Amino acid sequence: MGKPDNELYSMDLFAGAGGLSEGLRQAGFHGLYASEIVPVYANTYQINHPGCTTVERVNAAFSHVVLPEPGVYETAIRTALELP
């Protein structure tokens, strides 16, 4: 078995341009997901945090979040808007 994954992860809802995510990044967190409904803010967020999945939508609810397994930095996040 591999070394346990002790990384810190964050999700930024109502993200704006990403100030909170920047502070969390500086504190050692890895941003996985951000959501912002205003297109210009979502675009700015993506420029400021290119490694983070950024979507333009309302945050109605989350069904589940699957965090990465050790050594794998991918995430599967589904919002209520994506559910069948």
Q: What per-residue confidence (pLDDT) applies to 61?
A: 55
Contact assessment for residue 54 and residue 45, using Cβ atoms and an 8 Å cutoff: yes
CATH of 9-82 given 3.40.50.10300, 3.40.50.10800, 3.40.50.2300, 3.40.50.150: 3.40.50.150
HSE-CB at 32 with a 13 A cutoff on CA atoms is 16
The H helix count followed by the E strand count for the chain is 2, 5
Segment 9-68, tens digit of pLDDT: 888 888 999 999 999 999 999 888 898 989 999 999 999 999 888 888 776 555 555 555
CA quadruple 68, 25, 10, 53: dihedral positive or negative?
A: negative
Three-state secondary structure call for residue 5: coil
